[in-house]
């Protein structure tokens, strides 16, 4: 199995790739003009065939109504929505050609319900949910499955300016819990697909 992983930080992405036996590719999805070339590079590294795309890049910004500026929306949507859509648009080219593939979009429980200070972030995740449903309608005829995975709070470095992982806790979801969900979606026989799945911590309080 050949896996390409991407990320903005060269040191971190190369260390992660070495640990799991993947190919690292430094790639900032918010740089929209770079997406076609980076996508071509990904496709080449994978030998021209792509079975699975996991859209996991995401950032957050949580201003309260009254403090929101245009750049709050611009920064978050650049990564969470625009970059995600434009990259997927490139990656489906070989999937359509081979008439198979699975796309996993990482949403959030914020894709389902808004919350205080969530105007910008939740709006971006609602957009991802909508795009997922649109792509399901467009790509089923090409045997391409599209699934939205909605995690609740997970102990990652999300929204941490120092990019340090949050401490693990017995009542909090961890990255492996979401990975398990993704693998369950992928491993379903190709004649079926799961449109959307939400993962909550049983008792996070």
Of 27, 77, 121, 193, which is the active-site residue? 121
> From the centroid of its chain, how far is CA 5?
12
pLDDT < 50 regions, the chain = none
Give the per-residue pLDDT at 176.
Answer: 92
Please give the pLDDT value at position 158: 67
pTM for the model: 0.92
Query: DSSP character for 199?
Result: E
The four Cα atoms 20, 28, 60, 132 give a dihedral, to 10 degrees, of -80
Asked if 92 and 139 count as a contact pair (C-beta separation under 8 A), the reply is yes
CA 79 centroid distance within chain: 10
Whole-number pLDDT of residue 179: 95
Q: What is the pLDDT of residue 128?
A: 98
CA distance 164 to 50: 31
| Contact criterion met (CB below 8 Å) for 134 and 89 | no
Measured CA to CA, the distance from residue 41 to residue 147 in angstroms comes to 24
Distance, C-alpha 90 to centroid of its chain: 15
- Whether 121 is catalytic: yes
Indicate the DSSP class of residue 173. Answer: B
How many whole angstroms separate alpha carbon 193 and alpha carbon 149?
12
Beta strand spans in the chain (E): 4-7, 23-26, 52-55, 101-106, 144-151, 196-199
For residue 161, the model assigns a pLDDT of 65
pLDDT given for residue 163 in this prediction = 57
């Amino acid at each position: 199995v050949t896996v390409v992983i991407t990320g903005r930080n060269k040191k971190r992405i190369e260390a992660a790739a070495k640990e799991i036996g993947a190919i690292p590719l430094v790639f900032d999805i918010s740089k929209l003009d770079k997406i076609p070339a980076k996508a071509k590079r990904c496709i080449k590294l994978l030998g021209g065939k792509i079975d699975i795309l996991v859209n996991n890049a995401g950032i957050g910004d949580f201003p309260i109504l009254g403090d929101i500026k245009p750049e709050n929306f611009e920064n978050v949507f650049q990564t969470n929505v625009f970059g995600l859509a434009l990259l997927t648009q490139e990656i489906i080219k070989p999937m359509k050609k081979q008439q198979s593939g699975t796309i996993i979009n990482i949403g959030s429980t914020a894709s389902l319900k808004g919350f205080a200070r969530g105007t910008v972030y939740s709006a971006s995740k609602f957009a991802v949910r909508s795009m997922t449903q649109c792509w399901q309608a467009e790509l089923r005829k090409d045997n391409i499955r599209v699934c939205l995975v909605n995690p609740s709070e997970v102990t990652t470095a999300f929204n941490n300016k120092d990019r340090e992982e949050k401490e693990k806790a017995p009542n909090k979801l961890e990255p492996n819990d979401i990975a398990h969900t993704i693998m369950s979606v992928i491993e379903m026989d190709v004649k079926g697909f799961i449109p959307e799945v939400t993962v909550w911590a049983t008792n996070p309080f």
